[in-house]
Amino acid sequence: MVYCVCNKATLLISLLSISIVRFGLASVVSTGDFNTDFHITWSPSHVNTSADGHSRTLMLDQESGSSFASNNMFLFGEIDMRIKLILGYSAGTVLAYYLTSDRPNRDEIDFEFLGNVTGQPYILQTNIYADGSGNREERIYLWFDPTKDFHTYSIFWNLYQIVLMVDWVPVRVYRNHADEGVAFPRWQPMTLKASLWNGDSWATRGGEDKVDWSKGPFVATLGDYKIDACVWKGNPRFCRAGSNSNWWNKPRLRSLTGRQRRLLKWVRKYHLIYDYCQDPKRFHGQLPTECSLPKY
């Protein structure tokens, strides 16, 4: 696959060089040090952190995958993570970067990077769980090779919408349509997690291409993260309240701007390869309610 962007799209992306939520209204709550803000949850021998704590690698081999999780839980805000994916053959591997409440009726916001055979592009899958219900996958091809350099993958979340961004380009929006009976993550705090694991039963061509262990170990690098979010203190009203410190609740952040809508339309027109809302067969002809409601 050739990675390219038309001139118009390049111009639009350059216009969006500042995140939609960077208005100087709150301090970044993260230290930028993985050793301070996160703890390793799976296979410490497969997790390596730089001396300054600013970058961390996750490794997958035949012995084990690896993962880490934030020490705090969050309810609304923005999280940015710079990621460089596995170079070369990565079929069957899955790097997940996500927020999750870890409860039976869990809320979850997922980035999942699905590896591929050498020469074929990564697939970015996103998914939203709300009140324990998922099955909201979308998949895109990225407009660049994510294994060559770091790119920023962001989750913005407030009471009105969830926006998933790549280099601050919106690639997925999930609106709060709770008044229409659609579940939306709005009460449960979530932990930030990242994991690298073997998903070759489904991740690449529906499980046709397996992990080739002879090409391992497989390593992904994460770093230069920013967490500007409401730290859970036990009361959701604290994070939902309207105040200058709760910048994510500002009226201008209740929907996408005109430029962001144009960028989202560009992503969906040129890079979308699967949308659950375009798969009536999967839902026996009855698409989920949100599929007929406005995205922004």
Positions marked active-site:
108, 112
* Residue 252 DSSP label: G
Distance, CA of 225 to CA of 13 (rounded, Å): 21
CA-CA-CA-CA torsion sign (72, 73, 77, 80): positive
Distance set, CA 190 to CA 126, 182, 205, 213, 220 (Å) = 17, 19, 31, 33, 23
Distance, CA of 182 to CA of 167 (rounded, Å): 29
Taking phi over 0 as left and psi of -120 to 50 as alpha, with beta for the rest, 179 belongs to alpha
CA angle in degrees (0–180, nearest 5) for 153-243-28: 35
Please name the amino acid found at residue 168.
Answer: W
Distance, CA of 54 to CA of 223 (rounded, Å): 6
Distance, CA of 144 to CA of 287 (rounded, Å): 32
CA angle in degrees (0–180, nearest 5) for 132-134-140: 150
User: Measured between alpha carbons, how far apart are the two ends of the chain, in Å?
Assistant: 31
Residue position matching structure tokens 């309207």: 242
